[in-house]
Structure 1
Amino acid sequence: MTEIEPFPVSIPEHDLEDLRARLDHVRLPEAETVEDGTQGIGVERLRSLLDAWRQHDWRSLEKRWNAIPHYRTRLDGLDIAFWHVRSPEPNAFPLVLTHGWPGSVLEFESVIGPLTDPVAHGGSAEDAFDVVVPALPGYGFSERPREPGWNPGRTARAWAELMTRLGYERFGAHGGDWGAFVSTELACLAPERVAALHLTMPVASPLPEDLATADDAEKAMIAQRDRFMSTGPTHVIAQAMLPQTLGYSLLDSPAGLAAWLSQALVGFSDTRPEAGGGVSVAQQVDDIALYWFTGTGASTARWYWEAVRWTPRDAEAQNARAVTVPTACTLFPGEPFPVARRWAEHRYHNITSWNEMEYGGHYPGWEKSAVLVSELRNAFREARDR
């Protein structure tokens, strides 16, 4: 199937009934024995999240989803689902937005309108985009791979073909989390086509000489990275080593899936009250329900197994894959693995802007959508005219 076909979403009613029954018979363990969060998501927090899920209106989410033009096409042997929204403005600039884990295309739901129709949202027609939001292989309504090899590099090649199929020879790319890896690879793969790149998580690490000459701000970043590596990357280790074993629980237990995803959705967002509180419970439940009804707990976990066998492990190897296209970066303080500009410059050779925000975390599309819209408009303004 090389043609592009509309793909409306409609989950069978018996799947909703099955979920309701499972939620009614959830078995929870006793409470954690500490209050500092070091044992993981607390039982009372999970109980509240499950109560919110019981009240969730999936049919309402389907209506929102289907109000956005949604399609499916076959790329490199796999059916990929994506939103594609053309702007009413004739000179709109094509932009592909790529999500990560434990997120989904839902991260970008609230930015599609302002990006495609800026005039209707207080902006200028000159900032209009045609927006493409594909679901990563094995995520959402994209097909689950049946063979190994679907890593960020292969996905970037598929994205390039998708943009060709949609009629876009030249375009911009944005990503965070795995979306940053895919978008970076896309810029390396097709620098003549990627007019500019915007990242909220540059894929870069300090070199030994960077560590030796770190200033106070960089030392604080290094300390934060070290803290994360000592306590935070449980999901990376588990999903990179035993995604299939973990997948059985994620597919069979709504409580297990909710706990696993919410741990990261909350843990990597900016939960300070003055920042807005991070990813809301409503946003979490939308995302968790999507994973549940698409049965993608194992296939999304398997992305880590694929990526660690593909991703260069050290900074020197990463930097060998240099990015030459104009690159704009927006950094948020809740990001668990911060990057200094000096480190990023080893790999991204044409950084056009580096903006460090006061609030926000790993999921700006959910946490700070207006900020993300503004940053995207600014990032691609010059690229339109090149």
Structure 2
Amino acid sequence: MSLLSSSAAVLLATSAVAVAIGVLPTRVDAQSAQVGTAAEGTASRPFKFRASDEALADLKRRIKATRWPSRELVADDSQGVRLATMQKLADYWANRYDWRKVEERLSALPQFVTNIDGVDIHFIHVKSKDSNALPVIITHGWPGSIIEQIKIIEPLTNPTSHGGNATDAFDVVIPSIPGYGFSGKPTELGWDPQRIARAWATLMDRLGYQRYVAQGGDWGDAISEQMALQKPTGLLGIHTNMPGTLPDNISAALAGGPVPTGLSGDEKYAWDQLDFFYKHRVGYAQEMGARPQTLYALEDSPIGLAAWMLDHDPASQKLIGRVFDGQSEGLTRDDILDNITLYWLTETAVSSGRLFWESKLAFFSPKGVAIPVAVSAFPDEIYTAPRSWTEKAFPNLIHYNRLPKGGHFAAWEQPELFSAELRAAFRSLR
């Protein structure tokens, strides 16, 4: 989940990637985790992760030792994540949350590590029983991880049990972006979305896939669109749930130009979303794009890390607030903490932020993608791309659908809707 690299047309100056984990994290049980630096080569090795009891005890101790700030002075989210929300999260995290449950779910999935361009790349690889399944590589964003996509693996690989046909089956590859989760942390500069895109093409080639598709939102969109521009052999098309479609006049207006006029209803809805986001919610992207190394506190305070990750976009923050108030939503308290705890245990708060520093892309601007593109527009995304903008940005648009519900973390929050979208999006490319 990530956003906004800057450009002349938009607010941020740079964005970024620093990637991968080349040495065993200090909070990982070495006996189970096998994450050492991989020798150069094309082999993949099985991967399992188990945090040590000491690491989990230390996490709870730090949560309980949090020094809380005073309460916000407003009755809404305009000053940031509310104190009451964070205290409810902390209570659940320290006293009822069980990380071992997500470890069990992850351990049930085929996971591997392979070294690409000097960095260990972690990935989940689940094959369908259908021999004609279409391979898809699915990329998360910031502050997301492979946790975002776990719910869609079964609907995609086994569609007949989830409202689809056998001909809709996918083989699913879900890598961790370098510097995120179980992948290695790069030790040199240059791991921007373009380089990651090349690494993903290498990964799919190593897995023996001669034809495949790619999907992503947030950084996953940036990486997938770069794959589309690079046109690796075998890439048939891409699907995105956060496309780059902003017309020049919209980008100029967001950078301080005159407010556009003559917008349709869908275009005005998207403008209002973008206008609010650029004015009020780009703080995290600006800091990570300019000074990611300054964020030491995120790797020292679990509550500091959680608050930073929650304050991503208005709709997601409100949804998470409702979850910790006890309401039923697309995400659960465990879902939210599974993702935050993964960042904590792998010590990737700062390394993940470097992607904003590395990237020089204008995040929401069209890139000139010519291969087939499918777009799913969710109403609570940072902006819901209108069909009019989408058709101009992608001349080879093979699918567009505006969904009734769902936000930035669509695969995580609305897995059945999301899975149905991927089936429809790529049906013509099989």
**TM-score, reference length from structure 2:** 0.83
- 1:226 to partner: Cα distance: 1.0
Q: Report the secondary structure of 1:381's partner residue.
A: helix
- 1:278 to partner: Cα distance: 4.8
Please point out which of 288, 305, 329 is paired with 1:277: 329
1:156-180 deviations in Å (ceiling 9; x for gaps): 0000000000001210111000100
- 1:234 to partner: Cα distance: 1.4
- 1:220 to partner: Cα distance: 2.9
In the alignment of these two chains, the number of paired residues is: 376
Q: Report the secondary structure of 2:369's partner residue.
A: coil
Q: How do 1:275-354 residues align onto structure 2 when only pairs under 5 Å count? A: 277-307=329-359, 310-312=360-362, 318-319=365-366, 321-354=367-400
1:266-306 deviations in Å (ceiling 9; x for gaps): 74368398x96353322110000000000000011111111
Q: Report the secondary structure of 2:49's partner residue.
A: coil
* C-alpha distance in 2 between matches for 1:38 and 1:152: 32
In structure 2, the partner of 1:38 is 78
Q: Which runs of 5+ in 1 are unaligned?
A: none
In structure 1, the partner of 2:299 is 251
Q: Report the secondary structure of 2:319's partner residue.
A: coil
Q: AA paired with 2:361?
A: T
Q: AA paired with 1:36?
A: D
Q: How do 1:152-191 residues align onto structure 2 when only pairs under 5 Å count? A: 152-190=193-231
In structure 2, the partner of 1:264 is 312
Contact 1:270–1:333 under 8 Å retained in 2: no
Q: AA paired with 2:124?
A: W
In structure 2, the partner of 1:16 is 56
1:166-225 deviations in Å (ceiling 9; x for gaps): 001210111000100001111111265221211101112112299455324312321221
Q: Which has the higher helix share?
A: 1
- Seen in structure 2, the aligned counterparts of structure 1 residues 123 and 208 have a Cα distance that, compared at 3 Å, is closer
Q: AA paired with 1:86?
A: K
* C-alpha distance in 2 between matches for 1:130 and 1:265: 31
- 1:117 to partner: Cα distance: 1.5
Q: AA paired with 2:239?
A: H
* 1:357 is aligned to 2:403: yes
* 1:99 is aligned to 2:140: yes
* C-alpha distance in 2 between matches for 1:259 and 1:98: 24
1:333-382 deviations in Å (ceiling 9; x for gaps): 10123322322333312111211111110011121100001000111111
Q: How do 1:65-214 residues align onto structure 2 when only pairs under 5 Å count? A: 65-190=106-231, 192-208=233-249, 211=260, 213-214=262-263
Q: Which runs of 5+ in 2 are unaligned?
A: 1-38, 252-259
Quote the sequence identity (%). 40
Q: AA paired with 1:324?
A: A
**TM-score, reference length from structure 1:** 0.92
Q: Report the secondary structure of 1:345's partner residue.
A: helix
* C-alpha distance in 1 between matches for 2:65 and 2:141: 31
Q: Report the secondary structure of 2:288's partner residue.
A: helix
- 1:96 to partner: Cα distance: 0.5
RMSD between superposed Cα atoms in Å? 2.1
Q: AA paired with 1:345?
A: E
* C-alpha distance in 2 between matches for 1:72 and 1:222: 41
Contact 2:310–2:317 under 8 Å retained in 1: no
**Higher RCO, Cα 8 Å, sep 6+:** 2
In structure 1, the partner of 2:14 is none
